[in-house]
């Protein structure tokens, strides 16, 4: 699953739950990022969540996005992923 030269990078969406404190209820999260493969995507997701203060995460699903979504905040998160950012969308 590698983007070829000239193509947009592979943009993953990872769905799960995150905890800011082990004693609190989990927060539903969607993480959108670009990575060369799913293992790297998971590793970068966990690093980004730790740097944002999450103490634990349960990642349930991973998928590849097929182009920029129409709805916000996903469209902005997708654009950020293409530019190398990791976006954490919380509910």
Which residue is associated with the tokens 């920029």?
68
pLDDT digit string (tens) for 57-66?
999 999 999 9
Domains and CATH numbers, the chain: 11-90 (3.10.510)
> Cα(40)–Cα(60) distance, rounded to whole angstroms?
16
| 3-12, 13-22, 39-48, 66-75: the lowest-pLDDT one | 3-12
| pTM of this structure | 0.89
pLDDT band at 6; cut points 50, 70, 90: low
Q: What is the pLDDT of residue 8?
A: 73
Question: What secondary structure letter does DSSP report for 15?
Answer: E
């Amino acid at each position: 699953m590698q983007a070829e030269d000239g193509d947009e990078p592979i943009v993953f969406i990872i769905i799960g739950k995150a905890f800011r404190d082990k004693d609190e209820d989990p927060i539903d999260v969607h993480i959108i990022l670009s990575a060369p493969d799913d293992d790297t995507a998971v590793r970068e997701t966990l690093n980004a969540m730790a740097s944002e203060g999450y103490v634990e995460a349960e990642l349930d699903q991973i998928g590849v996005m097929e182009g920029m979504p129409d709805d916000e905040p996903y469209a902005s998160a997708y654009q950020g992923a293409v530019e190398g950012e990791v976006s954490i969308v919380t509910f």
